[in-house]
């Protein structure tokens, strides 16, 4: 269900490298949520770091939405850079598995497979 890799990089360096890999692979970063900073700003004692990148390939997203507009709730793809157990991790929920739970449309499964292949490569490049 997940694709998660460990990196020896700091969370900051992993996040920078991830943003660069996203662009190199034809996707765009729509937004980065710094969940750790948000929680701390709300008075929650949260020691770990966690940045969630919302990434998108417009052509792929349009294809998914044309097939089933309800899938807008599963978009855009999200890639996380986070710390856990003193280590830095980069990961995602696999698009094929996620969309497979939401639709049986073969064309969507194929699109999800293409997206998953690229997003896996993005994570591996950022590693």
pLDDT tens digits, 46-72: 999 999 999 999 999 999 999 999 999
Q: Which two tokens stand for residue 125?
A: 């490049």
Express each pLDDT in 90-107 by its tens digit. 999 999 999 889 988 988
Angle, CA 54 vertex, CA 34 and CA 95 arms, to 5°? 125
Of residues 106 and 41, more confidence is placed in 41
Backbone angles phi, psi at 76, to 5 degrees: -80, 180
pTM summary value: 0.94
Q: Residue 17 pLDDT > 90, yes or no? A: yes
- In sequence order, what are the residues at sequence separation of 6 or more whose Cβ sits closer than 8 angstroms to the Cβ of residue 68? 102, 103, 105, 108
Average pLDDT, the chain: 96
CB count, 10 Å around CB of 59? 9
């Amino acid at each position: 269900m997940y694709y998660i890799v460990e990196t020896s990089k700091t969370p900051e360096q992993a996040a920078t490298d991830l943003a660069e890999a996203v662009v190199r692979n034809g996707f765009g970063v729509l937004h980065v949520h710094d969940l750790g900073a948000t929680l701390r700003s709300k008075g929650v004692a949260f020691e770990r770091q966690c940045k969630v990148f919302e990434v998108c390939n417009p052509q792929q997203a349009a294809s998914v939405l044309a097939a089933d507009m309800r899938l807008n709730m599963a978009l855009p793809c999200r890639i996380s850079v986070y710390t856990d157990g003193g280590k830095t991790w980069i990961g995602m929920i696999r698009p094929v598995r996620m969309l497979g739970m939401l639709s049986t449309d073969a064309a969507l499964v194929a699109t999800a497979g293409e997206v998953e292949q690229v997003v896996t490569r993005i994570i591996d490049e950022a590693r």
